[in-house]
Amino acid sequence: MDPQALLDSLPDGVVVADAAGTVTAVNATARRLLGATAETGRPLREVMALQDTESQDWWSGNRPYDGIGSRVGLTEQSWLTPDGTEVLVTGRITRERRHGPVSLVSLVIRSGRGRARLDRDRSDLVATVAHELRSPLTGVKGFVSTLLTKWDRLNDDQKRLMLTTVHADSERLSRLIAELLDVARIDTGRLPLYPRETDPRPIVDRCLASAREATSRPVVAAYAEGLPPVFADPDKLAQVVTNLVDNAVRHGEGTVTVTLEPLERPYRGVRLLVDDEGEGIDEAIRARVFTKFWKHGVRGGTGLGMYLVGGLVRVHGGEVRIGESPAGGARLDVHWPSEDRR
């Protein structure tokens, strides 16, 4: 393939300059990002006519042919083209010998749209988390304020109701904070686990009792006989069950049914099924449900719950799938091993 055609096939812009600072190679992407100045035979200083937000130009800010003789690269930096488009520039400085003169400067330029999109995603996450935190905090603040100012005028039943609500909202805050911490730990591979042989039934019972307090929807359980223990961190198993049931309550309809039954294949363990009677989850989007920040519909949430479910099940050596419930709604099918399969 022709060398220029090869350069033009690259997704990022490429600019190469020789020892004299003259541009010797430019690809099509660089021409599109940098504009009319991006031509071979022109000084690198003119081709890289970029500025930062403080009006400093790229050449003065980097001085690729000057500086210490051991410098071999240019860290990625954000710059603005003459029309205001953000580009990210990184580079390599080549010398024939250490501390010798620069013989070649190779630059890679890519669009800043990807970073802008990432910034938007982060902003959306911050806004979502702030909203999720604010809702229970508003309830806590309101009821505590009422209790402090009207304690003597409230009867015991009113006080108990307010304190019960404050307790439920504080539990919701604790769960959200724990989710955020666990997401970061899963991403970095530093999630602390304390697994042991565990009976899943009392854990599921506690999770369902908590779920029933927070919704008017029917939440029922069905446990098969002869359930073996599972190899699990009890707190993480409870987190998985809670997120699955909360997701079914939030996005499904009708009765939420949680089933535990023995699992023999592909390994010995317990099969946890969470079924609802809603519209179900379209097969085309099922693979995306377990991705971070993925949300479907208009019923809110952080988009982290199912990502956590998938991560926590996997780190225990299990599997989670999405199917269709007998009532036509969504079925979350978790296979949890009885032995250490990590």
User: Is residue 162 pLDDT above 70, yes or no?
Assistant: yes
User: Is residue 89 pLDDT above 70, yes or no?
Assistant: yes
pLDDT score at 115: 67
Instruction: Respond yes or no on whether the N-terminal peptide bond of residue 202 is cis (omega within 30° of 0).
Output: no
pLDDT score at 251: 80
Q: What percent of the chain has pLDDT over 70?
A: 93
Which of the four pLDDT bands, split at 50, 70 and 90, describes residue 306? Answer: confident
User: Is residue 256 pLDDT above 90, yes or no?
Assistant: yes
pLDDT score at 299: 56
User: Is residue 296 pLDDT above 90, yes or no?
Assistant: no
pLDDT score at 222: 93
Q: Mean pLDDT throughout 310-336?
A: 92
pLDDT score at 233: 94
Question: What's the CA gap between 131 and 128, in Å, rounded?
Answer: 5
Question: What's the CA gap between 78 and 11, in Å, rounded?
Answer: 18
The predicted-structure confidence for 111-136, as pLDDT tens digits, reads as follows 877 666 666 666 766 776 777 778 78
User: Is residue 42 pLDDT above 90, yes or no?
Assistant: yes
pLDDT score at 300: 56
pLDDT score at 342: 77
Question: What's the CA gap between 311 and 289, in Å, rounded?
Answer: 12
Check: CB of residue 111 under 8 Å from CB of residue 33: yes
User: Is residue 281 pLDDT above 70, yes or no?
Assistant: yes
Walk me through the domains of the chain, giving residue ranges and CATH numbers: 3-111 (3.30.450.20), 116-188 (1.10.287.130), 196-337 (3.30.565.10)
Show Cβ contacts of residue 6 under 8 Å, excluding neighbours closer than 6 positions. none
Q: What angle do CA 126, 308, 124 make, to 5 degrees?
A: 15
Least confident window among 73-77, 133-137, 240-244, 318-322: 133-137
The predicted-structure confidence for 17-26, as pLDDT tens digits, reads as follows 999 999 999 9
Contacts 24+ apart (CB under 8 A), 127-134: 128/301, 128/302, 128/303, 129/176, 129/180, 129/302, 131/300, 132/176, 132/300, 132/301, 132/302, 133/173, 133/176
Q: Mean pLDDT throughout 179-199?
A: 85
pLDDT score at 298: 52
Which of the four pLDDT bands, split at 50, 70 and 90, describes residue 278? Answer: confident
Task: Give which of 12, 49, 42, 9 is closest to 25, Cα–Cα.
Answer: 42
Q: Does the pTM of the predicted model rise above 0.85? A: no
Q: Mean pLDDT throughout 197-220?
A: 91
Q: What is the dihedral of CA 48, 52, 56, 61, to 10 degrees?
A: -60
Question: What's the CA gap between 309 and 165, in Å, rounded?
Answer: 27
pLDDT score at 53: 80
Which of the four pLDDT bands, split at 50, 70 and 90, describes residue 228? Answer: very high
SS3 232: strand
